[in-house]
Structure 1
Amino acid sequence: MSSHRKARSSTGRPFSGRALRTVLLAAGAAGVATAVPAQAATGSGHAAFASDHVFSHADRAHHTQARDSFTIRQFGTVNAASARNQANAVSAGCSADDHCRSVALSFQIVTFAGQRTHLNAVNLSDAANKSCTGCQTLAGAYQFVVSTPTPFTFDAAHKRRLNDIHRRLDTLSRSTLPAAELKTRVDALAGEVTKVLDDAVAHAPKGHVKPDVTLHRHLDGWPGH
């Protein structure tokens, strides 16, 4: 059995203008969908944790598998926060005449408040073809980190815009678009999310620390063009 992987890509906009210590990790065990309890997320002096993981597996029995996730984790004011986002896609045992398609996409939005918050943010993706000639496999992890001096919540208008993007992500993940075009379309949706978040923090309560939105993006796919 052979296994093929393409190098993943990562982009991000750096944190700026705030007293925030950020630690980015690129390894560790797979996470599951969990979140910090609400009572811990809203009070100061607490730590918060969230983990989201999307996995898809296509093979001769299930030629097409598509999974996606769009989660919003609002931590409130915390001293420390840990957020993990992961997407894994596998295509196995198919052929060029009987090919497979596996897509896993995870969008995670994390908001937190505080002037000296320790953030541990992990964002991973991996796509693998295992003895799968002519198969299309795509894994994309998009992690949006929103930092504000004081807690805020999304208003109805911003929620509607995010819900609309979520619906379109569902449609894209289940489409039959070639992997290269699918990447472009998903990147465009991520750009829309960033614009919504930028607009939301512009209307958030002001403080001594400038609000900021950072995108961590990891894409891994086969074929890799």
Structure 2
Amino acid sequence: MKLSAELTRFSARLGHSFSRPELLVEALTHPSFSAPSRSDNQRLEFLGDRVLGLVMAEALLVADTAAAEGQLAPRFNALVRREACADVATEIGLGEVLKLGRSEMKSGGRRKAALLADAMEAVIAAVYLDAGFETARDMVLRLWGTRIDAVEADARDAKTALQEWAQARGLPPPSYTETSREGPDHAPVFTITARLDNGEEECATAGSKRQAEQAAARALLARLLG
């Protein structure tokens, strides 16, 4: 099977030349365009979601070797959520090459975040099946690159971000309360609760008060921003 000129250009934007072009075609085929003889991208989407998750989990562990699970989770969620996938898909022009049924096309399917996100995950799976994990990882890291840097920068000062969120809504700055301290004096473990005046709160545990405060702020922000 040979890719069309349009799909060849899209493949170049991905930075990957497919040995099995049919995988890319399948990844770009929305269920509204499928037929008994033509597979849609739902199965690839399922796989691509897991590949993306593994790539981002590994990248975050490498980027911050001291972060606890409670600190990593909101960063991970920000990088793999539908909005992030749809943004990347838009940047590489994925919507332009999506194969859609007539009704989806008329309703603006090429611009729908849900469709773009699903297809982006399917494309990741297509690259993974075509060339293996390392190639898929390299592509994802390249396409997500600035977002990974940004989420790490945001994570380093979650307290400031939470305070700005509160001030924008007319709330006083958040408070941070030490709710417990465990362990020996040379290796204490602190649990801190971040609380807003509207009653919203989250707690986190870390080896220093500062780390616990930042982790609690990140956890609260992650919930508030949904």
What's the TM-score bracket when you normalise by the shorter of the two chains? under 0.3
Higher strand share: 1
Structure with greater helix share of residues: 2
Greater C-alpha radius of gyration: 2
* TM-score when normalising by structure 1: 0.23
